[in-house]
Structures are given as C-alpha cells and as structure tokens.
Amino acid sequence: MRRKGYRYLISIVVLFVGVHLVQVQIDYRKKIENLESNLLLMPGQIAGSLVLGGFKGLAADLLWLNMEEYWHKGQHYKILPLLEAIAWLQPSYILVWTVGGWHMAYNIYAEVKTPEEKQYWYQQGIEFLKKGLAYPFNANKYDIYFELGWTYYHKGKDYPNAVKYLEKAVKYPHPEYVDDVLAHAYEKNGQIDKAIKQWEFIRDNYVSFFDIATRMIHDLKTKGKATP
C-alpha cells in the first residue's frame, strides 16, 4: 500500500509539473491576446460579490441597467461614476467609452451654463474617449476613433484633430457614414483636394451616397465649398 502511495504521489507531482508548464503557456497567451483581467477594487456590495465569482460581465450589465434608469430620470451626473465602473470592469466593451464620451461632451455640456464649464465637459468627453483607446483591443476598431473625430468636428470645431482621428477610423472596417464625415472634415480643414478625392472614393464605392457625392464634388470644384 505504501509503495502504491508513492506511485500516486509521484504521478501527482509529475502532473502538477505539467499543469505548471501549461499554465505558463496560458499566461503567455493571455498577455499576447489581451485576455488578462484587471485587478479589481470595486465599490458596491452586489457588484463586488459578483466580481468575486468571476462574473464581471454580469456586474457590468447590472451597472449598465442602473445607468439606463438614471438616464431616463435625467440624472446625468449619477451616470458618471457608473461609466467609470463599467469601463473598469469591462474595458473592452466599446459602447461604454463611446456612450460615455458622448454623454459628457454633449449631454452634460448642454446642461451646464458657463462657457468654462462647457469647455470642461467637452474636454472630459474627449479624455474619456482617449482613455478607451489605451486598451489595445479598442484601438483596433473604428468606433472610438470615429467618436473622437466626430466630437472634435461637430462639438469642438477642431478640424485638424477631427481629420486626424477620422483618418484612423477609416483604416478599420467601418460603416459608410464614416467616410462621409471624413470628407466634410477635410473640407472644413481647408484640404479641398483631399476632400474631393474622398468624395470621389465615396461616389465610386457607395451607391447610396452617389448623388450627394456627385453634388459635393461639383460644388467643391466650382465654388471651393460644399458643406453648409
């Protein structure tokens, strides 16, 4: 029996060595595939206990539902810590960054009174979006680049930055309207040649944009201006 016991012990040790080697491979793959989890120090008992069980997604969903509730009640400021918490729990959930950036740069912006406050919330929105780009899996999608480009273009009238981020957005698979906004941004930024080229690209590739692209190219070539 004792001899058999040693055999069990040796087999277990050998298997643990195997487990260790496999774990090293898993950890390596987690690193290169961005599958690592953040160290969580979440406030809130329900969210905290769910996180303990490995249910981060579920905790994020509960917070999102809370956010929806505040949203419908018009309690815009209460949404802010929830946005941060959801982003912390699930940083790869792109919607939280785009909705968060838009919420700050548009909704809270509209709610505050002084120009200083408006500028502050516009900047906060921009910063929140940029924070989202710090995560590699978000940086490989068009969404946040577009939201940044659009916020710079539409809210900030900061056309050089709008062009910068929209040009990044079109590098990744994206919907047709992203190209459309980029064309407008080129024009507003004074890059008329690039705007014409962009409209030509849109005309040749997107059937639904054919008429508007043709008109834009015509106006840009004749008047040097197309966007109202």
Q: Are 125 and 103 in contact (CB under 8 A)?
A: yes
The smaller minimum CB distance to another protein, of residues 16 and 210, is found at 16
Rounded to the nearest whole angstrom, what is the least distance from the CB of residue 224 to another protein in the complex?
Answer: 40
Q: Which residue lies nearer to another protein by CB, 61 or 167?
A: 61
Q: How far is the CB of 16 from another protein (least distance, A)?
A: 6
Tell me how far, at minimum, the Cβ of 148 lies from another protein, in Å: 19
| CB 91 to another protein: min, Å | 9
Residues 188, 179 contacting (CB under 8 angstroms): no
Q: How far is the CB of 3 from another protein (least distance, A)?
A: 12
- Give the span between the Cα atoms of 80 and 74, in whole angstroms: 12
Rounded CA Rg of the chain: 25
Q: Among residues 122 and 142, whose Cβ is nearest to another protein?
A: 142
Which residues of this protein are in contact with another protein, per CB under 8 A?
A: 1, 4-5, 8, 11-12, 15-16, 18-20, 22-23, 25-27, 29-30, 33-37, 39-40, 52-58, 60-61, 64-65, 68, 90, 92-95, 137
Residue 11 or 227: which CB sits closer to another protein?
A: 11
For another protein, the closer CB: 38 or 119: 38
User: CA–CA separation, 48 vs 191, rounded Å?
Assistant: 51
- At 95, list the tokens: 């919607």
CB-based burial of residue 192 (10 Å sphere; 0-12 exposed, 13-18 middle, 19+ buried)?
middle
Q: Is 31 helix (H, G, I), strand (E, B) or coil?
A: helix
Q: Which two tokens stand for residue 56?
A: 């981060």
